[in-house]
Every structure is written in structure tokens, then in C-alpha cells.
Amino acid sequence: VSYASATPSLSDKTQFPSFLRTIHNIYYECFIVVDLLKYFNWTWVGIIVSDNDLGRASLQIVTREHEKKGGCFALQEILPIFPSIESVLRIVDAVKKSKATVIVLFCTTENLVSLMEQASFHNITDKVWVGTPGWSITSDFPRRDILTTLNGSLGLANQNGKIPGFREFLYSIHPSIFANDPFMKTFWENAFHCVWPGNEAYNNTSPALLKNGTVWCTGKERLDSIDTNIYDVYNFKYTYKVHNAVFAVAHALHQMKNCVPGKGPFKNGSCADIYDHQPWQLLHYLKRVDFKNTAGEQIFFDQNGDVPISVDILNWQLFPNGSNQYVYIGSIDAGAPKGQQFSIQLNKILWNAGHSQVPVSVCSDPCPRGYRKAALQGQKACCFDCLPCSEGEILNPNDNSECFKCPEDKWPNSRKEECLLKPIKFLSYEETLGSSLACISIVFCLLTFSVFCLFIVKQETPIVKANNRELSYLLLISLMFGFLCSLAFIGRPNKLMCMIRQVMFAVIFSLCISAILAKTITVIIIFSATNPNSKINKLGKETVAVEIFAILSSSAGLLVCIFLPKCYIILLHPELNSKEYITRRNARSQQI
């Protein structure tokens, strides 16, 4: 059970079936970095990796996963293991010219020293560097100009777990307590710059001041007085991994010890002998441990022998007095439920130049409400124009690159984000105007019906006969329905009624006009026929022929003028029968 080997190949169980570890696979850091970019909405970023297998693999993973989540890369650079000044200057120039604010680094500390030196020399202080545990907590950048370049950067670090009582234990150790530890006295002498009594190198020296000002150790020195940079009792990153590894083995042995014969995991329900067991038997229990450690973290191994990744997020802060500090701002726990993996305290972050606002790193600003994304030809997906949705359309909530039209009974809101029901306004019978018009319609209908009844009763009278009784009846009936059809326009409408009432009025009104014209033409024909000089008496069949010719020529003219060009295109020029051609023709017509 390893506590520090993060090499990705160790997760291959065909090669290393018995390898387990309490430190995460280093490839998982790629997914964590992508999630971190997504958390801060950094879509337009750069990435620099070392020129080795791990760096190139990290480049592929980060590129694939970041693009899956809608991100793009302004630059992708590979830093040689032993970089020349030309290669470093080329990368620094690309970083300086890039509009990306965020640069991800998958590099070793040795790789980065020359790069950071040139970045500071070219005064690149407006970038946010996102680092991995390989360099983000290093102390190998002592120069202040390099620290100024890195100020405000974010780094991932192995989780600093809590081991109850361990700090107190470290403060309590003493050479007199661990007298048999050969390294204890050496540590004590180096920590307090003194000589422990009994050191053979100083046996012939008086107990007074020794050479170089070194004195005898009294044993009263206190470990809590030592600078934490020398004796760090707060950061237990690898110690915590050792702690988990030991507890995993302890839990496996405990389960082996508590095995009940006949219910064991091995052949015929047998158990392993805790005092004389095979390594593969212990491995069986190790793969299945699942416990909460003393810090409350759930520890278990997945099918690859890895534990869920859990890292701290640090903010590199440089203070005016020249000191710098890694400030803990949160953590990422990949094993937590979805939506709870990130725990970040934004108020603790100080970005470059001392700003507290999250930097923006995008190629194109987000489109305002009611605008859709329009891809730019030859550009990355993150770079786009914003075009307004057409009239009556809203932005598709599932795809902000397209708009769709609202249904007929709805229209867009002012932001063009959703379709709202159109307010239905209609003339109601409850309104004064509606009830008044309905009453007038009914009164006129009854009046027309009275006239119709009168004409029926007095149909043999000369005046009724003179008005052409049949056409008069038709006209009166049409007028009655004409008055009644106005009632269809009052009250709450529906789709069927909206279509019928317009057609009904047109038909009835046409019938009224036809009856009036028929009455008029009948009178004209009668008076013309009684005239001795009228041509009607002389040209009877010729008149009928002329009327037939007029009907045929009018109908044929409509048929030829309206439908012949369309049939010509459909049958003889089908290439013109396309939406694109019609659109171009309409566009030319509008230009003219």
C-alpha cells in the first residue's frame, strides 16, 4: 500500500494486481483542473506542459475534457525538459500576446524556473497561473520578481488531513524519551545549534562555549519555539497518506481476525489464519476496506486500487513586505455527492494586482438576453458573434446558438427568453358595447323577418310581384343571416369560430350583392326587351354566345396567367423549383 506513488501506470491491474495506494492517480488532476476552470467560467485558456509522457498525456486529457464542457484553448505549448532560451522566449511571447487570462501549467519545478524568470523579465503580471501539486507549493522561486509574476495564482496540493494528537506528539518528542533512536540527538543538535552531552566528537571539549559559538544542549529546549519552516507540525500532506495506509492495513487485519469459520470469503467458507496467512488473503481484505478515518474521511479503494481524489486549493499571495504565503481557500473532493465536490471560500482569494474580483478569461463575452450565438468562420467554438432572435422568436434554452418561434397563441417576453400566452381580448356579451350591438343585430333580424313574412302574405299583390318575389325572398333571407352572423363576432372566440365567421360573412354578403345585381339586371333586360329597336330581340343566340365567350375567356385568362408559369417551372425547369432560388429572387426584388 503506497502513500506517495502517483504514477498512472500503477492503476493497471493487469501489470500491478496487488498494488494499492492512498494517494490519487496523477491523471485525476487533469479532471480536477478542468472542473476548476468550469467552476470559475474560464472558457478561453492556455496550457503549457512538460515534454514527457505525463505532460503530453495531460495535454490530451485536459484538451478533450475542457472542450467537452464548452471550453477552448488560446495556446497549447510543450516545454522541453532542458529548454533552450529560444524555446522559452517563444512560449513567453505566445503567453504575452494571448488574450487568455488563465494559463494552466502541468510542469515540474525544474521546468518552470527558466519560464518564470523570462515571464517576470517581460513583466507578465496579468495572468492567473493554475498549477498542479508538482510545483504549486514549491519554495524554489525565491526571487521577488518571480513571486510577483505568480502572485494570485491557484495551485492544487495534496490534502492536508487532520491526525488528532499528532501535533502534540511531535512537540513532545525528546532525546531522553527516545534514547535508542540514533537520529533523535542529531536532529536535536541541528534544530537548536547545540551539542548533546555524550557526543564523541566533543568529548575533549570543556563544557563552556565550544568552537563557533556552539554550546551544550540542556534538554530544556522547546520544539514549539522553532520556526515552522524548519519544523512544520501543521502540514501533514504525505503523513496523512501514511496514516490512511496504516489504518487500511489495520482494518484489513481486523476483518481477517473477525472472520467466522464457515462464513469466510475463501474456499468452503474458510477463513485465513491471522498469524499465518498468505499475502493474497490479506490483499482480498485490503481491496474491500471501507472505513472513516480519524478525520472523518471515507477511505476505500476502487477497482484500480486508487482512492477518490481529494485535494486542497491554495492561493499564492505576495504581501507588500516581501513575504509570501500559500492561503488555503478550499478543497475538491471527487468522492462527494454531485454538486458538493467543490468547497471554495471566494472571499479569501486575492488575484493578481490585489484584486478580489474573479478574473474573466473568455474569447467572446456571453450573449445578452434574446441573442443567439453565431459561430465565426475559422474560429474556435468559444469565439462567436451575438445575433438577435427574429421577431416572434425566443432563445432555445437547451441550445443558445439557435432561436425558435413561439406558438400562435403565444409571443416572446421583452427579454425573448420565454413564450408568454397572448392576452385574449374579445367583445363580451357582458360589456355594454357587446350587449348593445347584439341587441341591434337581433332587432334588425326580427325586422327583416317581419318584412319577409309580409311579402309572403302579400305575395300576390302587384308591388311584390314587380320586385321579383324569388329574388326578394333570397335577399331578405340573406339579410337575416347577415344580421345574425354579427353575433359570431361577440363572445370568447375559438379556432373553429374564428375561421367560420369570416367565411360565413363573406358568403352571406356576396349572396346579398348577387341578389341585388340579379334584380337590377332583370329590370334592365325587361325594359330592353320591350323596346322595339333593342338588339336583344334581333340577336338572341348571338347574345348568349357573347356571354359564353366572356365567361370562357375570363376563366381561361385566369388559368393561363396564374397557373401556366408555375406549371412551366415545375415541368421544364425543376432546378428553379427550390427554396434557395425563391429566396434569392425575393432578395433581388427587395433591392430593386
255-313: pLDDT as tens digits: 999 999 989 899 888 999 888 899 999 999 999 999 998 888 888 999 999 988 888 89
Q: What pLDDT is attached to residue 246?
A: 94
Which residues make Cβ contacts (< 8 Å) with residue 551, sequence separation at least 6?
none
Phi/psi for 316 (5° steps) reads -80, 110
Check: CB of residue 293 under 8 Å from CB of residue 8: no
Give CA–CA dist 327/315, Å, rounded: 5
Check: CB of residue 455 under 8 Å from CB of residue 473: yes
| Residue of 352, 321, 358, 323 lying closest to 153 (CA atoms) | 352
Positions in the chain whose pLDDT score sits under 70: 134-145, 198-214, 229, 353-354, 523-541, 543, 586-592
Q: Output the pTM of the full model.
A: 0.64
Phi/psi for 318 (5° steps) reads -110, 130
> One-letter amino acid identity for 550?
A
Q: How many CA atoms lie within 13 A of 591 on its CB side?
A: 6
Q: What pLDDT is attached to residue 74?
A: 92
Domain 8-161+307-354 = CATH 3.40.50.720: no
Q: What pLDDT is attached to residue 15?
A: 92
Q: What pLDDT is attached to residue 320?
A: 75
Q: How many CA atoms lie within 13 A of 304 on its CB side?
A: 16
372-405 pLDDT per residue, tens: 888 888 888 888 888 888 888 888 877 778 888 8
Give CA–CA dist 566/582, Å, rounded: 13
| Residue of 226, 184, 193 lying closest to 211 (CA atoms) | 193
Buried residues in 160-182 as b, exposed as e (16+ CB within 10 A)? bbebeebeeeeeeeebeeeeeee
Lookup result for grid cell 566533543: 202
339: left (phi over 0), alpha (psi -120 to 50) or beta: left
| Residue of 449, 422, 444, 431 lying closest to 490 (CA atoms) | 431
Rg (CA), the chain: 46
C-alpha cell at 323: 513575504
Cα dist from 16 to 130, 241, 301, 306, whole Å = 32, 20, 14, 12
Give CA–CA dist 9/206, Å, rounded: 58
Q: What pLDDT is attached to residue 588?
A: 65
Q: What pLDDT is attached to residue 208?
A: 47
Q: What pLDDT is attached to residue 137?
A: 55
Instruction: Note the Cα 473 to chain centre separation in Å.
Output: 72
C-alpha cell at 485: 352572423
Cα dist from 538 to 531, 535, 541, whole Å = 11, 5, 9
Cα dist from 197 to 70, 171, 174, 203, 217, whole Å = 67, 21, 14, 8, 7
Lookup result for grid cell 525565491: 142
216-242 pLDDT per residue, tens: 888 888 888 887 767 878 777 788 899
* Residue 327: strand pairing partners: 315
Helices and strands in the chain: count of H runs, count of E runs: 16, 18
Lookup result for grid cell 427574429: 390
Q: What pLDDT is attached to residue 143?
A: 59
Which residues make Cβ contacts (< 8 Å) with residue 61, sequence separation at least 6?
27, 30, 31
Give CA–CA dist 353/325, Å, rounded: 15
| Residue of 565, 469, 586, 468 lying closest to 524 (CA atoms) | 468
Helix (H, G, I), strand (E, B) or coil at 155: strand
| Residue of 143, 79, 155, 151 lying closest to 117 (CA atoms) | 143
Give CA–CA dist 389/188, Å, rounded: 75
Q: What pLDDT is attached to residue 209?
A: 46
* Residue 216: strand pairing partners: 195
* Torsion sign (Cα): 91, 92, 93, 95: positive
| Residue of 178, 127, 135 lying closest to 153 (CA atoms) | 127
Helix (H, G, I), strand (E, B) or coil at 419: strand
Give CA–CA dist 492/424, Å, rounded: 8
Give CA–CA dist 64/47, Å, rounded: 13
C-alpha cell at 71: 471550453
